[in-house]
């Protein structure tokens, strides 16, 4: 919604805050325009100035809120002036609320925020120490609307959660957000239909700092720790899980400043944030090109600030854009090094048992019990490959490989084994059997 709009035929801007719309020489202008939904008459002022998103609907109409406030609203496909919420909006709003209530949280639909009684939020979810202002945004919206509504939510002490189906929406990286697929309202309303979260969620990954890679530590003017850690875009299988985990504070809204005027907003696991050096309500901004003194930035939305670098551009990720480098705690890096030594020792024993196979591996999210997750690709002599999920204990591999009954166990595809038996299971894995099942 906007308080100014451009009248194409008049070639002038209308100020809806004034009774005469800023044009006393044209009496009855409001009465003539109000109630008429016609494209080509009123144009979005931000669109005209080049401030709107590419998929912004440029044409608008005038409406009056229940409090008598005059606003200009974008004309959306199949939208009614008197009932602006589409069937898809209503279905997704109710799904958010029902999902929260089914998991033990209290939810309210279409309620005003305390900071501004004129502004209503689609679904207000009362979680564990956090209140989420959930707003399905399935139609184009101006950046100013996102900023204003998020600021109102912040003043009310609640965390905004914008759900969008657009890949080029201003909702991205202006507030905590999540992107789902565009679908008909029946899909949104069906609790058994899984809606993957395509954007707005990230997970922490770490990899060795080797020659040829950009060293985050040296860009900060610090000695290289041997590791690069960063938040990478990931998908969640179920949108419902994001709602529940955000209400339970298992997912935390994170803001990473890119500059004084732009930032990344995303949801990240609380366990990942616990491994980082974080200054609450502050961020350190550093140019990748030349190190400079850290500049503190004050939070505008109640979220965790990540101490790191200006994120690197990733052209292959249009949704979230760039990887977000961060600094892990020393004990967290030591744990990662131990995990790498363990998987190297484990796979070395696997290959010694079966010299005809080759293995590659990549890091997975850790098990809630603290076990370290790996995805191991087994390739046999004929070139057939199949993945194996391996969970190793967070302990020195010499302890894990001991024959003591107190030695921690491993898991192969969800089944527990002692270290020796686990290496044998992987060594005798038959990729052909797996790929044919």
**SS3 of the chain:** CECEEEECCCCEEEECCCCCCCCCCCCCHHHHHCCCCCCCCEECHHHHCCCCCCCCCCEEEEEECCCCCEEEEECCCCCCCCCCCCHHHHHHHHHHHHHHHHCCCEEEEEEEECCEEEEEEEEEEECCCCEEEEEEECCCCCHHHHHHHHHHHHHCCCEEEEEECCCCCCCCCCCCEEECCCCCHHHHHCCCCCCCECECEEEEEEEECCCCCCCHHHHCCCCCCCEEEEEEECCECCHHHHHHHHHCCCEEEEEEECCCCCEEEEEEEHHHHCCECECCCCCECCCCCCCCCCCECCCCCCCEEECECCCEECCCCCCCCEEEEECECHHHHHHHHHHHHHHHHHHHHHHHHCCCCEEEEEECCCCCCCCEEEEEEEECCCCCEEEEEEEECCCCHHHHCCCCCCCCCEEECCEEECHHHHHHHHHCCCHHHHHHC
Q: Identify the pLDDT of residue 132.
A: 92
Edge-to-edge strands, sheet with 70-74 = 12-15, 4-7, 42-43, 59-64, 70-74
**Tens digits of residue pLDDT in 294-307:** 333 333 333 444 44
pLDDT at 312: 44
Residue ranges for the chain with pLDDT beneath 70: 1, 35, 37, 53-56, 66, 76-85, 115-118, 220, 278-322, 432-437
Strand partners, 268: 252
Among 399, 393, 337, 333, CA closest to 369 = 393
Q: What is the pLDDT of residues 120-179, one digit of tens each?
A: 788 899 999 899 999 998 877 778 788 888 888 888 888 999 999 888 777 888 889 999
Helices 419-427 + 330-353 axis angle, to 10: 60
In this structure, which CATH number among 1.10.8, 1.20.120, 3.40.1350, 1.10.12 belongs to the domain 87-189?
A: 3.40.1350
pLDDT confidence of residue 248: 93
How many whole angstroms from its chain centre is CA 87?
Answer: 25
pLDDT at 412: 92
Question: Is this prediction's pTM over 0.85?
Answer: no
The confidence score (pLDDT) of residue 125 equals: 93
């Amino acid at each position: 919604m906007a308080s100014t709009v451009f009248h194409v035929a008049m070639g002038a801007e209308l100020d809806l805050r004034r009774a005469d719309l800023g044009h006393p020489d044209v009496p009855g202008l409001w009465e003539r325009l109000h109630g008429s939904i016609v494209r080509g008459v009123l144009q979005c002022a931000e669109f005209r100035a080049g401030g709107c998103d590419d998929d912004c609907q440029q044409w608008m109409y005038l409406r009056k809120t229940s409090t008598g406030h005059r606003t200009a609203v974008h004309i959306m496909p199949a939208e009614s002036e008197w009932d602006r919420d589409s069937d898809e909006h209503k279905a997704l709003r109710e799904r958010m609320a029902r999902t929260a209530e089914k998991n033990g949280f209290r939810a309210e639909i279409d309620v005003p925020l305390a900071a501004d009684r004129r502004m209503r939020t689609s679904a207000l979810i009362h979680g564990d120490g956090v209140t989420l202002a959930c707003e399905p945004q399935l139609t184009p919206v101006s950046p100013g609307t996102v900023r204003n509504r998020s600021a109102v939510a912040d003043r009310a002490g609640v965390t905004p959660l914008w759900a969008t189906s657009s890949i080029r929406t201003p909702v991205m990286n202006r507030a905590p957000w999540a992107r789902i697929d565009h679908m008909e309202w029946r899909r949104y309303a069906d609790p058994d239909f899984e809606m993957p979260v395509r954007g707005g969620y990230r997970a922490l990954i770490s990899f060795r700092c080797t020659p040829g890679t950009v060293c985050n530590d040296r860009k900060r003017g610090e000695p290289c720790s041997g590791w690069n850690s960063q938040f990478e875009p990931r998908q969640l299988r179920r949108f419902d899980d994001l709602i529940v985990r955000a209400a339970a504070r298992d997912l935390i809204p994170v803001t990473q400043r890119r500059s004084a005027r732009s930032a990344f907003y995303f949801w990240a696991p609380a366990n990942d944030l616990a491994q980082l050096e974080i200054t609450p309500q502050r961020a350190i901004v550093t140019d990748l090109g030349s190190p400079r003194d850290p500049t503190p930035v004050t939070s505008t939305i109640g979220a965790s600030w990540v101490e790191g670098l200006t994120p690197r551009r990733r052209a292959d990720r249009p949704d979230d854009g760039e990887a977000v480098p961060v600094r892990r705690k020393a004990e967290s890096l030591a744990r990662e090094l131990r995990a790498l030594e363990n998987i190297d020792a484990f796979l070395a024993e696997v290959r010694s048992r079966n010299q005809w196979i080759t293995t590659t591996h990549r890091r997975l999210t850790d098990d809630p019990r603290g076990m370290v997750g790996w995805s191991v690709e087994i390739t046999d002599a004929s070139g057939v490959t199949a993945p194996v999920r391996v969970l190793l204990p967070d302990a020195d591999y010499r302890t894990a490989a001991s024959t003591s009954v107190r030695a921690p166990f491993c898991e192969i595809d969800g089944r527990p084994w002692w270290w020796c038996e686990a290496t044998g299971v992987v060594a005798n894995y038959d990729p052909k059997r797996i790929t044919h099942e």
